[in-house]
């Protein structure tokens, strides 16, 4: 089997539960890169939130790719060139923000390195029964600067790559269908974690972004190995010649994957690459 590219989800896949890339996994990926394989970071994070990892794994030296905002944007990791972009229209974005005012969620927008919110003190959700400062979590994970505005609805005058909503996991599980209902035919709506529910342009996912960007590099999806653990990784795993689920992936992800490797805490990526690349 010819492998020309490796696509990696971040949280729960590339990074362990301490949010770091272990030395074994890092070395396996750097060795693949040295062998001429293109590394791709594919995440719900904005591009700003991928740059530190891209540098750590040397994607910025080897023209790796950054699939950001769950697939609504793709950039060359070396040049920053925009390879693909499909944002939510202003009209649709404003409709989502207006609709979300009826729910107990915290909406967030990102522009470059800024995280736009309405109230920096309204920042607590509950995850698995424990309080979580979700604004600090998102800021720190993606290296963003917090920018408080009086109204996201009033501020939203340009197309948006995604609209992120955060909420207590049990609340989102009960209300996500109602949150998405008005937009089921016009936007893509999905969980990227049990406390994150996101809106992107219709038809956007990691697989669509890769199906556009890979051929420009002379890479066929059959030559792609993709790793993931969550609902938003399923289209990417289906697209890839080899779709790999982490041991900590949901059962839904494992069912569609071609194979299952160790968990994100067990160097599952390195385990599988040892098998595939020898």
Token digits for 143? Answer: 């290296």
Length of the chain equals: 278
Measured between alpha carbons, how far is 59 from 71 in angstroms, rounded to an integer?
Answer: 18
Measured between alpha carbons, how far is 278 from 272 in angstroms, rounded to an integer?
Answer: 10
> Torsion angle, CA of 217/69/71/174, rounded to 10 degrees?
160
Domain(s) of CATH 3.40.50.1000: residues in the chain: 5-86+204-277
Instruction: Give the model's pLDDT for residue 278.
Output: 80
Mind listing the pLDDT tens digit for each residue in 32-42? 999 999 999 99
Mind listing the pLDDT tens digit for each residue in 7-32? 999 999 999 999 999 999 999 999 99
Of the chain, the percentage scoring pLDDT greater than 70 comes to 100
In whole numbers, what is the pLDDT of the chain averaged over residues? Answer: 96
Alpha-carbon dihedral sign for residues 111, 69, 182, 197: negative
Token digits for 82? Answer: 């925009």
Alpha-carbon dihedral sign for residues 137, 138, 144, 148: negative
Closest by CA position to 170, among listed 211, 133, 128: 128
Lowest average pLDDT, out of 52-56, 89-93, 163-167, 229-233, goes to 229-233
Residue 164 pLDDT level (bands cut at 50, 70, 90)? very high
Domain(s) of CATH 3.30.1240.10: residues in the chain: 90-201
Mind listing the pLDDT tens digit for each residue in 190-238? 998 899 999 999 999 999 999 999 999 999 999 999 999 998 999 999 9
Measured between alpha carbons, how far is 152 from 25 in angstroms, rounded to an integer?
Answer: 39
Judge: domain 90-201, CATH 2.60.40.10.
no
Residue 255 pLDDT level (bands cut at 50, 70, 90)? very high
CA distances from 123 to 97, 131, 136 (A): 17, 10, 8
Mind listing the pLDDT tens digit for each residue in 93-146? 999 999 999 999 999 999 989 999 999 999 999 999 999 999 999 999 999 999
CATH number of 5-86+204-277: 3.40.50.1000
Closest by CA position to 7, among listed 241, 198, 193, 231: 241
């Amino acid at each position: 089997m010819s492998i020309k590219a490796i696509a990696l989800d971040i949280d729960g896949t590339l990074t362990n539960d301490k949010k770091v890339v272990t030395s074994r996994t890092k070395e396996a990926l750097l060795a693949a890169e040295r062998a001429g394989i293109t590394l791709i970071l594919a995440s719900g994070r904005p591009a700003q939130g991928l740059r530190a990892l891209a540098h750590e794994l040397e994607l910025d030296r080897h023209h790796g790719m950054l699939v950001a905002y769950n697939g609504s944007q793709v950039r060359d990791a070396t040049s920053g060139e925009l390879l693909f972009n499909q944002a939510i229209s202003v009209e649709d974005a404003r409709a989502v923000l207006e609709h979300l005012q009826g729910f107990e969620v915290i909406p967030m927008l990102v522009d470059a390195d800024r995280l736009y919110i309405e109230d920096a003190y309204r920042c607590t959700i509950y995850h698995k029964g424990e309080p979580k400062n979700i604004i600090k979590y998102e800021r720190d994970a993606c290296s963003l600067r917090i920018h408080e505005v009086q109204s996201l609805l009033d501020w939203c005058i340009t197309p948006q790559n995604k609209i992120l909503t955060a909420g207590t996991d049990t609340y989102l599980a009960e209300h996500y269908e109602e949150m998405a209902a008005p937009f089921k035919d016009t936007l893509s709506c999905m969980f990227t974690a049990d406390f994150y529910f996101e809106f992107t342009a219709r038809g956007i996912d990691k697989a669509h972004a890769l199906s556009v960007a890979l051929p420009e590099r002379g890479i066929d999806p059959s030559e792609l190995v993709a790793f993931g653990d969550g609902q938003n990784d399923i289209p990417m795993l289906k697209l890839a010649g080899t779709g790999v689920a982490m041991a900590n992936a949901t059962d839904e992800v494992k069912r569609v994957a071609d194979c299952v490797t160790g968990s994100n805490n067990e160097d599952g990526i390195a385990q599988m690459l040892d098998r595939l690349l020898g």
